[in-house]
Amino acid sequence: MPLDKNFNKEKMDAVIVKNEGIPFQLEAINEVRINKSAVEKRCASATDRRTVKKHNQVAWLLKAITCMDLTTLSGDDTENRVVRLCNKAKNPLRNDLLKKLGIKDLNIKVGGVCVYYQFIRTALNALRGSTIPVVAVSTGFPAGHTPKKTKILEIKESIRSGAQEIDIVISRRHVLSGNWKKLYDEVSEYKEASGTACLKTILATGELGTLKNVKKAAFICMMAGANFIKTSTGKESINATLPFTLVMCRAIREYCEFTGFEVGYKPAGGISSAKDCLSHMMLVKEELGSKWLNPHLFRLGASSLLSDIERQIEHYATGQYSSFNRHGLA
């Protein structure tokens, strides 16, 4: 990505900081190229070449829990369900497992709790006393087909209600029609409306048509000041896949190399097993380094994933697999 290397030379030479955004650069977007077959080959070989077992697997799964945005975004959500989810967020593993593994002192908890606007206050009250942030989906989630004024108001109202992080959806039509400046302006307005809150931009990768569009959209969102780029709403037919993770991680790496700004990554949707989770985490580690496998730069959008992780950890601790209904979330 041939970004102008001189626009922010002082920041490049200083300590890497959170993304502040850069001026729109259409020439950089026009230069984006993707070798689809190479991407698919790289992803296919990643899981074959890398595996973790026994205590190492448990360590990776514990890390995954700390990077998880535990989520409920269903039409039948209720206050009671959100409260139960928050209680699970504060205590993601059963006490007997913590005791068996000797890790009670680690204070394992999730990275965030993601809910609709209506449940922000409920989540805040349920999480009182913890450091777990409340994440609110905004801007007409999941389709994004609401008036811009309404989208901006939704962000501001979510922050006013106490949300510390905002997950927004982009207008896919700007990507599909190649109107990159409109997408940049849109995300810039969301960034301004979110103030100091962490802004995560959902690309809805499964609806963007090509991997090239995914990478271009990722660059535009980062240029506009996104703190995270996120794959999916979880409502699309195709959500987080390894090719999307690879393309978006390389976009993050290139953007960081040229600007000095770190941007986080959040795969979401379709990651329901510990095995899939580890595949994404290993790819992130190989492409971006161990530094990215921390909650301030990596999140996993998940609901049922935590049940399988707890089940795998119980198998390590006891030698037996339990049924999923013993690891309910909400």
Structural domains in the chain? Answer: 17-327 (3.20.20.70)
Give the integer Cα–Cα distance in Å for 229 and 249. Answer: 9
Instruction: Report long-range pairs for 177-183 (Cβ below 8 Å, ≥24 apart).
Output: 180/24, 180/26, 180/29, 180/216, 180/220, 181/24, 181/26, 183/217, 183/220, 183/221, 183/224
Strand ranges inside 189-277, DSSP E? 198-202, 228-230, 261-262, 264-266
pLDDT at 326: 65
Positive or negative, the Cα torsion across 312, 300, 212, 255? negative
Separation between Cα atoms, residue 289 and residue 282, nearest integer Å? 9
Alpha helices in 50-147 (DSSP H): 54-66, 79-90, 95-101, 120-126
**Which residue out of 200, 266, 276, 308 is catalytically annotated?**
266
* DSSP codes of every residue in 17-77: EE-------HHHHHT----HHHHHHHHHHHHHH----HHHHHHHHHHHHHTEEEE---TT-
Per-residue pLDDT of the chain (330 residues; tens, 9 = 90+): 555 544 444 444 445 578 999 999 999 999 999 999 999 999 988 777 667 888 999 999 999 999 999 999 999 999 999 999 999 999 999 999 999 999 989 999 999 999 999 999 999 999 999 999 999 999 999 999 999 999 999 999 999 999 999 999 999 999 999 999 999 999 999 999 999 999 999 999 999 999 999 999 999 999 999 999 999 999 999 999 999 999 999 999 999 999 999 999 999 998 999 999 999 999 999 999 999 999 999 999 998 899 999 999 999 988 877 766 666 665
pLDDT at 265: 98
Known active-site residue 104: no
Residue 11: the pLDDT is: 43
- Which residue of the set 167, 191, 276, 308 is catalytic? 167
266 is a catalytic site residue: yes
Joined together, the tokens standing for residue 30 give 């026009």
User: What is the pLDDT at residue 31?
Assistant: 94
Give yes or no for a contact between 76 and 119, defined as CB atoms under 8 angstroms apart.
no
From the candidates 63, 230, 276, 308, which is the catalytic residue?
Answer: 230
DSSP calls for 270-298: S--SHHHHHHHHHHHHHHH-GGGSSTTTB
* Catalytic site includes residue 96: no
